Amino acid sequence: MTASDWPASHWTVPPFGLGTFRLKDQVVRDSVRDALELGYRAIDTAQGYGNEAEIGETIAQSGVKREDLFITTKIKPDNYSADKLVSSLRESLEKLQTDAVDLTLIHWPAPRGPVSAEEYLGALADAQAQGLTRHIGVSNFTIALLKQARELLGDRAIATNQVEIHPYLQNRKLAEFARQEGIHLTSYMTLAVGRVMEDEVMGEIAAAHGATPAQVALAWAMGQGFSVIPSSTRREHLESNMKALDLKLTDEDMERIAALDGRGERLANPASVAPDWD
């Protein structure tokens, strides 16, 4: 199975895609080009990453049909106000060379920022109503913030909440709430910035399956119903990561990985925009 086996028209949020955080200039061009050639069909970016234009150029040059792709971008806090959000998304669309993205997220809740959730979620809903994005969602939202978002958005579906989840920060309270409420989660930093590669337990599980620790971590997340968006600058790693789609872990494997939780190793926690975590 490859990521391109799912027609984009059937996706809400695909289970597997390419992350582009920290990838710039020619590096992001090469990563996206290699990923598309290997069969990736979901690309995750953000206004704050500063790479939308390079991604748009690479997609345009790839020959992959737009309808076969699932493109996600995120609105940065500087653009949350009602008079900026929609226009900033239009600028993102120009950079990405598309009439609409498949998913637009509020990147950080910015609870101490000058723009209220009511204002920025209302503007996000307006962007969807204008046809600039097929789906809308959030990122780095806590249980309380998810509840507030659902109240403010009414019948509009939250396609996903993109949050940090890896073996050392499993976010179980949030995951259980999301599961009960039918809110999809997308895991970012699933490989804990490479830490899973040095972990003895992950290594043992990988060896038992003829896999890599990275594949095990990705399969673990997808096995819980989360989407994953690993990034890499190396073609061989991009290709290897895709094999997680076919890796089935045992209940014992899942239990052993569950036991790695509790170290409190949160990797993304910018003080200016982060909430009070669950």
Angle (CA) 91-31-236 rounded to 5° is 160
Please report, as a single letter, which amino acid is at residue 271: A
Residue 83 tokens, joined? 């008079």
**SS3 at position 70:** strand
Interacting residues of 210 by C-beta distance below 8 A, sequence separation 6+: none
CA 250 to chain centre: 25
Residue 3 has phi, psi (to 5 degrees) of: -65, -20
Q: Are 19 and 231 in contact (CB under 8 A)?
A: yes
Q: In angstroms, rounded to a whole number, what is the distance separating the alpha carbons of residues 273 and 278? A: 15
CA dihedral 27, 32, 33, 36 (to 10 degrees): 160
Asked if 191 contacts 240 with a C-beta cutoff of 8 angstroms, the reply is no
* Annotated active-site residue in 40, 49, 80, 168: 49
Q: What is the DSSP letter of 191?
A: T
Active-site residue, 49 included: yes
- Which residue type, as a one-letter code, is found at position 190? T
Q: State both tokens at 66.
A: 């737009």
Which positions are annotated as active-site residues? 49
